[in-house]
């Protein structure tokens, strides 16, 4: 506990046998008594749950608490106020509170007293100054005191504008030694704006442990955190840690709130994205990405139409010259179902080599298993290699009635149809495929890389998704097609 140098004290008791009917107002070292008479009718103050009370300090070092804890006074240190056997060296002129529970009092000569949890960080005597007299006196008496927001330091101010810093309080300048029009009468510590400094949340992964800690600045004392809108399986601790194991993939708008020990409140709205669990599987005819274990009612993407490269495998040239190869093809499409069931609704573009030439036929199509594909046009020139094509497959507002749309963004041609489909919607896919004929799975024709941009899906009400699978195509024991790179809104599938 910080005491004035050279003062020896004995413990005294402050008696409270009679009610206090005076408020001590401090103006430098002058004590003014204001009496509130019983006949004066004043409204009763109403204290809310957020009211923390206050403490008054007397020039003699006495303290008076209202709605808050009294942590003691200079009398607790054995001093006897302004007179008596052990008087103060100088009157108390200021008080500052610590959010951790406690307060400091500063005297006119630069001495500091600490009470409760308020730590003693020093006084002007710590600088070698000898109070109001002595060999190194203050240039002017101390008139004010302010604490840092966290209570780890404080400033003292002199009547001449001089400032003394203690603990973590930083010296930012003063008016000491300058000409000022009137004496300084106090100092106020200005806290930084209380705010949440975390601006984004790291992505989570479905069914995997997640933990991240948020931060705030400008508050006083200990912060208490809470959050609304977190995905199921996650929670926030009072210390600001979001943790747990999220379930379904998706995007959540999370509102986080932090309250400091002084009652300041800051809020922020942050986005938390939960990605599906990533797995890898091998297929004889698919390559790309699948999301599953959901309730899907729509899928879409934009992709560049593949071109077939030369030379094609010899099996692709088996058949009548000038006819479409019965053995080879490449198709890129989006669809719903088919990953783990026999149902499937899909639409896209297919490229088939022309036997005996370097040419190939490109056609837009749609398919609902178990029926064969339906081509929107018999022309092999309606879509060209390199064209940007957007495909959208989704259930309309009429149950089991689906809309299938293909638009060539390069030449402006569009194709659409509505079809009945009652599959479970258990998966959604963005695939480069080796198609299947009546003879079985065809050989994948070598192709130029296909980039799927903005691959998206929609979910039925209460639907979710918890797994994402990268699919690699393997034929005859060799990897022939696989996803090779991805960004936040695209991925590329390439021939290997």
- The last residue of a domain, from among 274, 289, 320: 274
pLDDT of residue 248: 84
Q: What is the CATH number of the domain that holds 225?
A: 2.60.40.10
- pLDDT at residue number 294: 82
Count the domains in the chain.
Answer: 3
How do residues 371-410 score in pLDDT, each as one tens digit?
A: 999 999 999 989 999 999 999 999 999 999 999 999 999 9
Q: What is the pLDDT of residue 446?
A: 98
Q: Residue 488's pLDDT is what? A: 77
Query: Do 346 and 220 have their domain in common?
Result: no
What is the CATH classification number for the domain harbouring 379? 2.60.120.700
Instruction: Tell me the two tokens of residue 171.
Output: 């010296």
73 with 144, same domain: the answer is yes
Per the domain annotation, does 17 fall within a domain? no
Q: Is the pLDDT of residue 75 over 80?
A: yes
Residues 6+ positions from 267 with CB-CB distance below 8 Å: 196, 255, 256, 257, 258
What token pair was written down for 417?
Answer: 């149809």
In a 3-state reduction of DSSP, which class is residue 329?
A: strand
**Average of per-residue pLDDT across 214-243:** 94
Domain shared by 310 and 241, yes or no: no
Alpha carbon distance 389, 407 (integer Å): 6
Domain residues for 207? 195-274
Euclidean distance between CA atoms 230 and 204, whole angstroms: 11
Of the candidates 117, 151, 167, which is a domain's last residue?
167
Query: Which of 274, 301, 324 is the last residue before a domain boundary?
Result: 274
pLDDT band at 37 (very low <50, low <70, confident <90, very high): very low
Same domain, 257 and 295: no
Q: What percent of the chain has pLDDT over 90?
A: 76
Cα 305 to chain centroid, rounded: 38
- How far is Cα 496 from Cα 109, in angstroms, rounded to an integer? 84
Global pTM reads 0.55
User: Are 209 and 124 members of one domain?
Assistant: no
Rg of the chain in Å (alpha carbons): 39
pLDDT, greater one: 263 or 410: 410
The pLDDT value recorded for residue 11 is 26
- pLDDT the model gives residue 486: 83
Q: Is 7 exposed, middle or buried (0-12, 13-18, 19+ CB in 10 A)?
A: middle
pLDDT (tens digit, 9 = 90+) per residue, 103-162? 999 999 999 999 999 999 999 999 999 999 999 999 999 999 999 977 889 999 999 999
Q: Give the tens place of pLDDT for each residue, 355-377.
A: 999 999 999 999 999 999 999 99
Does pLDDT of 28 surpass 90?
no
Claim to verify: residue 486 and residue 361 sit in the same structural domain: yes
In a domain, 106, yes or no: yes
> Are residues 129 and 266 both part of a single domain?
no
HSE-up (13 A, CA, CB side) for residue 207: 11
Given the DSSP bridges, would you call strands 30-35 and 22-27 parallel, antiparallel or unpaired? antiparallel
6 pLDDT above the threshold of 60:
no
443 and 363 share a domain? yes
Q: How far apart are the C-alpha atoms of 74 and 4, rounded to whole Å? A: 10
Q: What angle do CA 155, 159, 161 make, to 5 degrees?
A: 60
């Amino acid at each position: 506990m910080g005491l004035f140098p050279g003062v020896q004290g004995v413990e005294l008791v402050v008696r409270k046998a009679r009610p206090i009917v005076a408020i001590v107002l401090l103006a430098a070292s002058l004590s003014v008594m204001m009496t509130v008479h019983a006949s004066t009718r004043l409204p009763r103050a109403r204290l809310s749950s957020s009211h923390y009370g206050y403490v008054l300090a007397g020039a003699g070092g006495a303290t008076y608490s209202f709605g808050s804890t009294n942590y003691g006074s200079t009398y607790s240190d054995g001093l006897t106020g302004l007179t008596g056997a052990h008087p103060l060296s100088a009157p108390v002129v200021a008080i500052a509170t610590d959010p951790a529970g406690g307060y400091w009092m500063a005297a006119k000569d630069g001495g500091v007293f600490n009470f409760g949890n308020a730590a003693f960080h020093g006084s002007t005597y710590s600088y070698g100054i000898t109070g109001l007299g002595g060999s190194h006196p203050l240039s002017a008496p101390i008139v004010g005191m302010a604490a840092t927001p966290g209570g780890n330091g404080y400033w003292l101010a002199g009547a001449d504008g001089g400032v003394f810093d203690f603990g973590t309080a930083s010296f930012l300048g003063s008016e000491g030694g300058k000409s000022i029009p009137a004496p300084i009468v106090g100092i106020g510590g200005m806290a930084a704006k209380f705010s949440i400094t975390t601006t984004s949340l790291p992505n989570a992964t479905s069914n995997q442990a997640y933990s991240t800690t948020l931060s705030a600045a400008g508050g006083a004392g200990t912060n208490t955190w809470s959050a609304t809108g977190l995905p199921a399986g996650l929670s926030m601790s009072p210390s600001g840690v979001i943790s747990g194991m999220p379930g379904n993939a998706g995007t959540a708008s999370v509102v986080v709130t932090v309250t400091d020990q002084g009652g300041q409140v800051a809020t922020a709205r942050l986005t938390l994205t939960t990605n599906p669990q990533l797995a890898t599987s091998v297929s004889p005819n698919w390559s790309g990405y699948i999301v599953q274990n959901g309730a899907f009612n729509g899928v879409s993407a934009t992709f560049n139409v593949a071109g077939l490269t030369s030379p094609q495998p010899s099996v692709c040239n088996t058949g009548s010259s000038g006819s479409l190869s019965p053995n080879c093809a490449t198709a890129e499409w989006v669809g719903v179902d088919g990953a783990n069931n026999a149902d499937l609704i899909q639409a896209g573009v297919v490229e088939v080599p022309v036997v005996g030439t370097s040419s190939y036929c490109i056609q837009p199509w749609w398919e609902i298993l178990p029926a064969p594909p339906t081509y929107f046009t018999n022309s092999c020139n309606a879509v060209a290699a390199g064209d940007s094509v957007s495909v959208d497959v989704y259930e309309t507002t009429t149950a089991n009635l689906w809309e299938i749309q293909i638009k060539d963004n390069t030449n402006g041609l569009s194709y659409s149809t509505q079809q009945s489909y009652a599959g479970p919607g258990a998966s959604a896919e963005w695939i480069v495929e080796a198609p299947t004929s009546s003879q079985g799975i065809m050989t994948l024709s070598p192709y130029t890389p296909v980039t799927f941009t903005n691959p998206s899906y929609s979910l039925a009400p209460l639907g979710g998704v918890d797994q994402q699978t990268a699919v690699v195509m393997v034929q005859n024991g060799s990897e022939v097609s696989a996803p090779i790179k991805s960004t936040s809104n695209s991925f590329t599938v390439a021939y290997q």
